[in-house]
Structure 1
Amino acid sequence: MSLPLFAQSVLFINPGRSDEAFWVAASRAMKSAAASLGVSLEVIYAERDHVRTREIARNIIARPPSRRPEYVVLTNDYGTAPELLRAFDGSGIKTFLAYSGIDAPADRILTGRPRERYPDWLGSLEPDSEAAGYLTAKALFAQARAGHAAAIDGRLHLLAIGGDRSTPTSVSRNRGMRRAVVEAGDVTLEQEVYADWKRDKAAEKSDWLYRRYPRARLVWAGNDMMAFGAMKSWKNRGGTPGKDGFFSAVNTSDEAMRAVTQGQLAALAGGHFLAGAWSLVMLYDYAHGKDFRDEGLELERPMFMVFSAADAERYLARFGQGDFSRVDFRRFSRVLNPKRRHYAFGLRQLLDGHG
């Protein structure tokens, strides 16, 4: 398995903050994939500012041709993708959506499908975010039942803290959570709120939620930072997460993994941080003559796994502090592995040492 001689250039507009665990992990995984594949990668953080995202795009387009990337990887966080795709149209830069694609009907009217209205919009790769919400909720309910968290009415009383109202990832995770509630039959969803993915805002909102719903013993959170904020408020009230309050989260920060091993988090799912790295594999293949059109231009893949305490220990040992340098992403390229008929994108295979 050898690498072709020429390298391609890719720029990732990271929508997160440069000190935000998830988005830092996403960038580190992409850099490891780029190193494996011989791709030149530049990452610019938008710092959770949709206005800054637009400015970054304009600045990229304004660069001299010799300094422009061949490909830009975007997300649809805060619904910015339609405007970004329109901005890059005609610039000569090919675009690819990762993490969150075009889901809202109103956005679809604006963008159409990949390679139609915008010929250089190559496609998208999304984690199955609804599965993340569903799986963490189901695991949370199971742990709460085992911990005898039902109220005197025999039901589990749940509070839900989502990220935001517009990002497709957030919408899908909440939808998955609600599906699990309907299936459970013994769970009452008291209220859903949004905390902008932030620990401090989740702590503030959970504090008054606990006062409003004193029977609630379960908190489903759309990411780990919000779960930690809710756990802090619970502790401030004299509670003990994992004993008299049960919390779930999404993401793979070291802090979240340790919380699983210590029994403080009842449920944790992650793996979607790799969507950017997997996108680089697809773009590498595209640039080297293997179009992913045969698998679909808008792919949604089940990237999430639910972590047991043993899984969390193994993750920390193998990828602690965001070190993915031991992963050989060339194994997943269909150009470099002609016998590979389909892309296989998941964290479990990396955790088990198959990557």
Structure 2
Amino acid sequence: MQAAVDDFGTELEIINTNRDRQGMISAAAELATRTNKPDDVIVANEIKQGRRAYKTLSEASIKIFILLNPLQDSETIGLDTNNLVGRISPDNEIAGYAQATRPAGKDSDGVQIMALLGDLVTPAAIKRTEGMERAVAEHADAAIVRAMSVNWSADKAKDRTQRFLKAGQTASTDMFFAGLNWSRPAMDAVSDGRMTMTHGGHFFAGAWSIALLNDFHTGQTAIDDQGFPMPPIHAENVDNFLERLGEGDWQRIDFQQFASENQEYDFSSDAILSASP
């Protein structure tokens, strides 16, 4: 996001509320009461607090862009959406579907799936779970034998996985590990075989939101809802991703090329890799 802001010549302030309900609401209230209010606020609708944050900011006549977890139809009832600039979210459902589909049919004894969920209420987590459930419904040999929330904690995920394996809830020694992130540790894990695949690209949504806000402020009256894929990094393509994105040098990408005068956006992995020489 910072790299995109630098490319477009705007200013950015980041307020991290760490998925804390009260922290998110307090941050919105503080922004709404500032003497010098921001032109726009990008809101991540985490733990279903986006409606409250939106209402507070909108009543202060601040423009809002919703990031990653769009407000659901039920959440927009009674809201004045005139200050809603746009929304962008990844295809979480297909990511969950692909992760559960990949091992299906690979074991004659059936596939047992343990699912570690970020939480149980965030739209992204719900969509990924729905994707997994759709895949299982299509494959008679697959079953979700355990699904649990780990509250986005790597330590908790590790602990729950170790307990699951020690309890002998699976007799298989042929294990498939999939994740959701394009971080360097995740790429390294795919590269050395500790993980089979990892979907991601959603952290680029921050940069996409800057490009979309630029288009809004340079003449477009509204931004259509935008979506983008979360393609997998796997053994066949991980070297290319490591070469282009492994160092995390986002300044090498010219994010201005992702802006569009007619809202014909390309936020695909091919476009990202091509933009990172």
Task: Extract structure 1 runs of 4+ deviating beyond 6 A.
Answer: none
Measured at CA, do residues 256 and 141 of structure 1 come closer, stay the same or move farther in structure 2, by a change above 3 Å? farther
1:317 paired to 2:243: yes
Partner of 1:270: 200
| Pairwise CA distance, 1:290 | 2.1
Name the SS of the counterpart of 1:192 in structure 2. strand
| Pairwise CA distance, 1:186 | 1.2
Q: Return the alpha-carbon distance in structure 2 between the equivalents of residues 72 and 341 of structure 1.
A: 21
Measured at CA, do residues 279 and 216 of structure 1 come closer, stay the same or move farther in structure 2, by a change above 3 Å? farther
Measured at CA, do residues 331 and 212 of structure 1 come closer, stay the same or move farther in structure 2, by a change above 3 Å? same
| Pairwise CA distance, 1:212 | 4.7
Partner of 1:119: 82
Q: Return the alpha-carbon distance in structure 2 between the equivalents of residues 214 and 71 of structure 1.
A: 49
- Residue 257 of structure 2 aligns to which amino acid in structure 1? R
| Pairwise CA distance, 1:47 | 2.0
Partner of 1:224: none
Partner of 2:112: 157
Q: Return the alpha-carbon distance in structure 2 between the equivalents of residues 280 and 140 of structure 1.
A: 37
Measured at CA, do residues 47 and 308 of structure 1 come closer, stay the same or move farther in structure 2, by a change above 3 Å? same
Partner of 2:98: 135
Partner of 1:345: 267
Q: Return the alpha-carbon distance in structure 2 between the equivalents of residues 175 and 278 of structure 1.
A: 25
The aligned runs of 1:55-204 (5 Å cut-off) are 55-65=26-36, 68-103=37-72, 106-111=74-79, 117-141=80-104, 145=106, 149-150=107-108, 154-204=109-159
Which deviations, in whole Å up to 9, do the C-alpha atoms of 1:159-180 show, x marking residues without a partner?
1111101100111111111111
Q: Return the alpha-carbon distance in structure 1 between the equivalents of residues 237 and 55 of structure 2.
A: 42
Q: Return the alpha-carbon distance in structure 2 between the equivalents of residues 216 and 107 of structure 1.
A: 44
- Structure 2: where are the runs of 5+ without partners? none
Q: Return the alpha-carbon distance in structure 1 between the equivalents of residues 142 and 171 of structure 2.
A: 10
1:258 paired to 2:180: no
Name the SS of the counterpart of 2:155 in structure 1. helix
Partner of 2:209: 279
| Pairwise CA distance, 1:129 | 1.0
- Residue 118 of structure 1 aligns to which amino acid in structure 2? T
- Residue 42 of structure 1 aligns to which amino acid in structure 2? E
- Residue 123 of structure 1 aligns to which amino acid in structure 2? G
The answer on whether the counterparts of 2:198 and 2:232 sit within 8 Å (CA) in structure 1 is: yes
The answer on whether the counterparts of 2:252 and 2:276 sit within 8 Å (CA) in structure 1 is: no
- Residue 344 of structure 1 aligns to which amino acid in structure 2? D
Measured at CA, do residues 127 and 324 of structure 1 come closer, stay the same or move farther in structure 2, by a change above 3 Å? same
Name the SS of the counterpart of 2:19 in structure 1. coil
- Residue 345 of structure 1 aligns to which amino acid in structure 2? F
| Pairwise CA distance, 1:267 | 1.8
- Residue 351 of structure 1 aligns to which amino acid in structure 2? L
Q: Return the alpha-carbon distance in structure 2 between the equivalents of residues 110 and 176 of structure 1.
A: 30
- Residue 206 of structure 1 aligns to which amino acid in structure 2? T
- Determine what percentage of the aligned residue pairs are the same residue: 28
The answer on whether the counterparts of 1:285 and 1:291 sit within 8 Å (CA) in structure 2 is: no
- Residue 122 of structure 2 aligns to which amino acid in structure 1? T
User: How much is the aligned-residue C-alpha RMSD, in angstroms?
Assistant: 2.1
The answer on whether the counterparts of 1:159 and 1:216 sit within 8 Å (CA) in structure 2 is: no
Q: Return the alpha-carbon distance in structure 2 between the equivalents of residues 50 and 109 of structure 1.
A: 21
Name the SS of the counterpart of 2:61 in structure 1. coil
Measured at CA, do residues 108 and 60 of structure 1 come closer, stay the same or move farther in structure 2, by a change above 3 Å? closer
Name the SS of the counterpart of 1:278 in structure 2. helix
248-257 vs 343-352, which moves further = 343-352
Name the SS of the counterpart of 2:162 in structure 1. helix
- Residue 128 of structure 1 aligns to which amino acid in structure 2? D
| Pairwise CA distance, 1:258 | 0.4
Measured at CA, do residues 302 and 345 of structure 1 come closer, stay the same or move farther in structure 2, by a change above 3 Å? same
Name the SS of the counterpart of 2:41 in structure 1. strand
Partner of 1:47: 18
| Pairwise CA distance, 1:216 | 5.7
